[in-house]
């Protein structure tokens, strides 16, 4: 019998296509009191550096009309504390849910260094893959200055590849004229796949104080506002690089949004900001996909990339309007 939810993203076998996105799910243990972690296809940790970081000055979060601005600045506990204090607990909870550790550094060299530590500790940590964050818009070093710069981008990805044999997914920035060349470069440098998109640059002004709300001025926009942007880039990357596995991210707060990403060509999706609004968001998205597939007697495998195969269906939609 075909398991309608089971899918693959490159070498990663997933019980279902719903993962929790980096930066919205702690280190995997934050939602323990709401629902079992093993429900998920997987989760991605907050970005980890070798050393702990405090991040940016407050305020670091602002609500917008259709989403959220953040300027966290990659605050994290550092690799050693993650290995010692977080990974054991998460491994006890996660069942078949895949664990992707999201990593970054201040320079391409530091990307290579943390990847080497992940490789050295991979048995102890039990992670299934690495997600390389070269796309944070909130840091002066190690973010979009690398991820939007073709030379630095290739250098960072190549250094991670040289340091580890773990499956590598590169998280891409939408803050470029064209995401496709970056996806291609990631593949050429040995990535198993890409995650897209990270947040878009944004700013909100406090009109009483006459200054930006965020402590850093600008931040990264996420949430429903960016859904069409993410779907657009997933579609474009899938069309240009049909064999490259994709995690679709950006503005997924409903199962219908997840379905759009899957049909645009994502092999699986990551739910992010929605979990701040409703801690059950991941579960609801998954339940909706399950119902939808059951009602149509189809499977995730069958719908991935469906929007590229228009005309293949026996029954085309009938437009009445
Ligand atoms: C942050 O920590 O500033 C957000 C993470 C990211 O955008 O990659």
Q: What is the pLDDT of residues 12-26, one digit of tens each?
A: 999 999 999 999 999
Beta strands in the chain (DSSP E): 7-9, 12-14, 18-20, 42-44, 61-64, 67-70, 98-103, 129-133, 168-171, 193-196, 200-203, 205-206, 211-212, 218-222, 246-249, 268-271
To the nearest whole percent, how much of the chain has pLDDT over 70?
97
Distance CA 94, CA 39 (A): 8
Task: Write out pLDDT tens, residues 291-310.
Answer: 999 999 999 999 999 999 98
Answer yes or no: is pLDDT of 1 > 80.
Answer: no
The set of protein residues with a Cβ atom below 6 angstroms from ligand 1 is 23, 47, 70, 72-74, 133, 135-138, 198-199, 220
Name 35's Cβ contacts closer than 8 Å, sequence gap at least 6: 279, 280, 283
- DSSP run (H or E) holding 231: helix 227-240
Asked whether the beta carbons of 107 and 21 are under 8 A apart, the reply is no
CB atoms within 10 A of CB 128: 19
- Residue 29: its pLDDT value, please? 87
Q: For 82-99, what is the mean pLDDT?
A: 96
Which are the contacts of 283, defined by CB distance < 8 A and separation ≥ 6? 35, 39
Query: What is the 8-class DSSP label of residue 106?
Result: S
Q: Ligand 1, from 26, 57, 72, 230: best to mutate by most atoms within 8 Å of Cβ?
A: 72
**Known catalytic residue: 148?**
no
Q: Which domains does the chain have, with CATH numbers?
A: 3-308 (3.20.20.70)
Q: Ligand 1, atom 5: nearest CA belongs to which residue?
A: 136
The whole-angstrom separation of Cα 221 and Cα 10 is 28
Instruction: Using the atom order of ligand 1, give the atom closest to the CA of residue 219.
Output: 3
114 CA from centroid of ligand 1 (Å): 17
Q: What angle do CA 13, 279, 171 make, to 5 degrees?
A: 45
What average pLDDT score do residues 54-70 get? 97
Minimum CA distance residue for ligand 1 atom 2: 74
Mean pLDDT of the residues in the chain: 96
């Amino acid at each position: 019998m075909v398991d309608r939810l089971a899918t693959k993203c490159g070498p990663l076998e997933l019980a279902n296509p719903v993962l929790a996105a980096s930066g919205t799910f702690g280190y995997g243990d934050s939602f323990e009191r709401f629902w079992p972690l093993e429900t998920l296809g997987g989760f991605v940790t907050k970005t980890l550096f070798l050393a702990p970081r405090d991040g940016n000055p407050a305020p670091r979060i602002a609500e917008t009309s259709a989403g959220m601005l953040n300027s966290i600045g990659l605050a994290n506990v550092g690799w050693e504390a993650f290995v010692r204090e977080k990974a054991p607990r998460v491994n006890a909870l996660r069942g078949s849910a895949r664990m992707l550790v999201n990593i970054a550094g201040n320079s391409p060299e530091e990307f290579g260094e943390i990847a080497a530590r992940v490789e050295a500790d991979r048995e102890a940590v039990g992670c299934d893959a690495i997600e390389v964050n070269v796309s944070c818009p909130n840091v002066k070093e190690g973010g979009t200055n690398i991820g939007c710069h073709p030379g630095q981008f290739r250098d960072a990805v190549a250094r991670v590849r040289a340091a580890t044999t773990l499956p590598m997914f590169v998280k891409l920035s939408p803050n470029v004229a064209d995401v496709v060349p970056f996806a291609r470069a990631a593949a050429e440098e040995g990535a198993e796949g890409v995650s897209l998109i990270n947040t878009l640059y944004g700013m909100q002004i406090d009109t009483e104080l006459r200054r930006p709300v965020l402590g850093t001025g600008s931040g990264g926009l996420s949430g429903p506002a960016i859904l069409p942007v993410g779907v657009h880039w997933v579609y474009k990357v899938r069309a240009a690089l049909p064999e490259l596995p994709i995690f679709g991210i950006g503005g997924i707060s409903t199962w219908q949004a997840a379905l759009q990403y899957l049909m645009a060509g994502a092999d699986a999706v990551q739910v992010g900001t929605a979990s701040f609004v409703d801690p059950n968001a991941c579960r609801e998205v998954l339940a909706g996909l399950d119902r939808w597939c059951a009602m149509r007697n189809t499977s995730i495998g069958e719908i991935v990339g469906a929007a590229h195969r228009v005309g293949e269906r026996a029954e085309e939609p009938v437009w009445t309007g």
